Amino acid sequence: MPPDDAMEHAGVGTPVYLDHHATTPVDPRVLEVMTPWFAERFGNPHSTSHAFGHEAAEAVETARGHVAALIGADPREIVFTSGATESNNLAIKGAARFERRRRNRRNKLVTLASEHKCVIESVGDMAAEGFETRILPVRGDGLVDPDELHRAVDDSTILVSVMAANNEIGVLQPIEAVGALARARGALFHTDAAQAAGKAPLDVNAAGIDLLSISGHKLYGPKGIGALYARRRPRARIEPLFSGGGQERALRSGTVPAPLAVGLGEACRIAREEMAAEGDRLSALSARFLKGLQERIDGVAVNGDRCRRLPGNISIRLDGVDALGLIDLVPDLAFSTGSACTSAAVEPSHVLRAIGLGDEEAASSVRLGLGRFTTAGEVDFAVDHLAEAIRACRRAMSAA
Ligand SMILES: *Cc1c(COP(=O)(O)O)cnc(C)c1O
């Protein structure tokens, strides 16, 4: 357990990492379990004609069980991939292309304007392949608009993709309701759970989920591994993206990276055990941060629904502050703006736009993400430094 808030800022190592939506450190317990599978126990898990392959295959299957358990799935429903980007591409393109190959009349894909770029662009790629696509607006609180969804999802819909938790504003979508609607209309329900997995309870059966994406490096596992849950009963039928050896139920050809799979499994096992307590601790720390900041400065507003959100997410607008300028003033804090630096240009985030923020509000937004190893001391340090920098920003702005 991380130390409590005893001393002032003594002992706070800098820079303080407050960007856990971008990535998380590998938990030391995960690293320990992974390590032997790189060099000592290096077998190819698909080469089961000898002991090297056998032991790797066994370790991969144990890991598959841990991933499945985290979301209430059967291990046979878990496909290892390289990460959530690949899982999302596989789910969306795979479902659409399977349907077309079967010459069915369903032709529509539905998603939200606040989804991760890899979902929106996968859907866009399918529009280029001739599918009908709908990218629905979201409400000001970041949540799906049930009326929009009811209008869009009909018996021509192949798949509905709605994320479980947003990577920028942290809001938790009502996935049970989305799943129930999709099922009632005979459509598949895919959810990008890269942020939610291991942070919020997920049950594929309770939520009527057919396809679900997970990323290792968002839940204290390694980078370069993820998983796609694909329902067996009734079967969510998808076409693979890759041609090859037919590994992973022929849905994902290529050698499963055993060390990474073992790491993802252990990360899921730990998350399942510790999620409830960790969520309580992070909610308290987020509240402490907001209260502290609001006591020191005014003009702080939370982006997105205040209650339905990831416990470690703090997405805020700071009146009269340019987020990029602010970040330069606090090199001891690692956090992000509400903007995506795509190529050379800085564009307002499509998520903040989707919830109705203007360019200026978006440009004054920052995202902080607290995580498993964030301490109360670090939160207090961040509040003090940020409040001071915000005051400096505002002074500079009013002087200009
Ligand atoms: C990080 C993230 C992804 C991409 O995951 P990778 O494993 O890095 O490919 C997709 N969706 C959401 C919501 C994310 O936060």
What confidence tens digit (pLDDT) does each residue in 253-302 have? 999 999 999 999 999 999 999 999 999 999 999 999 999 999 999 999 99
Ligand 1 atom 3, closest CA: 84
Mean per-residue pLDDT for 314-319? 97
139, pLDDT greater than 60: yes
Query: Residue 40: what pLDDT?
Result: 98
The residues with which 226 forms a beta bridge, in sequence order, are 81, 215
Q: pLDDT, tens digit, for every residue of 197-248? A: 999 999 999 999 999 999 999 999 999 999 999 999 999 999 999 999 999 9
Give the pLDDT confidence score for residue 2 in this predicted structure: 46
Residues 108 and 253 in one domain: yes
Decide if pLDDT at 340 tops 80: no
Q: Is 195 in the pocket of ligand 1 (CB under 6 A)?
A: yes
Instruction: Give pLDDT, residue 4.
Output: 46
Note whether residue 220 is domain-resident.
yes
Tally of CA atoms within 13 A in the half-sphere of 52 that contains its CB? 8
Q: What does DSSP assign to residue 132?
A: E
Residue 2 counted as domain residue: no
Q: What stretches of the chain adopt beta strand conformation (E)?
A: 16-17, 78-81, 108-112, 132-136, 157-161, 188-192, 211-215, 226-230, 300-302, 313-318, 333-334, 336-337, 339-340, 347-348, 365-369
Q: Is 248 within a domain?
A: yes
Same domain, 120 and 242: yes
- Domain match, 288 and 209 both: no
- Residue 215 Cβ < 6 Å to ligand 1: yes
Phi then psi dihedrals of residue 316, to 5 deg = -135, 150
Q: Considering the domain boundaries, does residue 1 fall inside one?
A: no
The CATH number that applies at residue 203 is: 3.40.640.10
How far is the first Cα of the chain from the last one, in angstroms, to the nearest whole number?
A: 46
What's the number of domains the chain is made of?
Answer: 2
Q: Whose CA is nearest to atom 14 of ligand 1?
A: 194
Do 66 and 141 have their domain in common?
yes
Mean pLDDT of the 11-24 span? 95
**pLDDT at res. 30:** 99
Position 344 scores a pLDDT of 56
> How far apart (Å, rounded) are the C-alpha atoms in residues 400 and 397?
5
Residue 8 included in any domain: no
- Residue 345: its pLDDT value, please? 62
Residue ending a domain, choose from 228, 244, 270: 270
Verify that 257 and 388 share a domain, yes or no: no
Q: Domain boundary residue among 270, 305, 334? A: 270
Mean pLDDT of 390-396: 95
The pick from 117, 192, 336 for probing ligand 1's pocket by mutation, whose C-beta has the most ligand atoms within 8 angstroms, reads 192
Ligand 1 centroid distance, CA of 117 (Å): 9
**158 and 114 housed in the same domain:** yes
Mean pLDDT of 96-116: 94
Instruction: Give me the pLDDT at residue 5, please.
Output: 44
Residue 6 pLDDT class (50, 70, 90 cuts): very low
Task: Express each pLDDT in 320-335 by its tens digit.
Answer: 999 999 999 999 999 9
For the CA of 215, the closest atom of ligand 1 is 7
Instruction: Identify the residue whose tokens are 């529009």.
Output: 127
Is there a single domain that holds both residue 289 and residue 197?
A: no
Question: Do residue 53 and residue 149 come from a single domain?
Answer: yes
How many A from CA of 230 to the centre of ligand 1? 18
Q: What is the residue range of 337's domain?
A: 13-26+275-399
Look at ligand 1, atom 15, and give the residue with the nearest C-alpha. 167
- What pLDDT sits at residue 1? 44
Token code pair at residue 309: 């959100």
Q: What is the pLDDT of residue 104?
A: 77
143 and 264, same domain (yes or no): yes
Q: What number is the average pLDDT over the span 369-391?
A: 98
Q: Do the domain assignments include residue 4?
A: no
Mean pLDDT score of the chain: 95
Residue of 218, 223, 315 best suited for mutating to test ligand 1, as the one with most atoms within 8 Å of CB: 218
Q: For residue 20, give the CATH number of its domain.
A: 3.90.1150.10
> Residue for token digits 């018996």?
155
Give the mean pLDDT of 365-383. 98
CA–CA distance, 256 with 379 (Å, rounded to integer): 39
Least confident range of 3-7, 9-13, 94-98, 115-119: 3-7
3-state SS assignment for residue 19: strand
Q: What is the pTM of this model?
A: 0.96
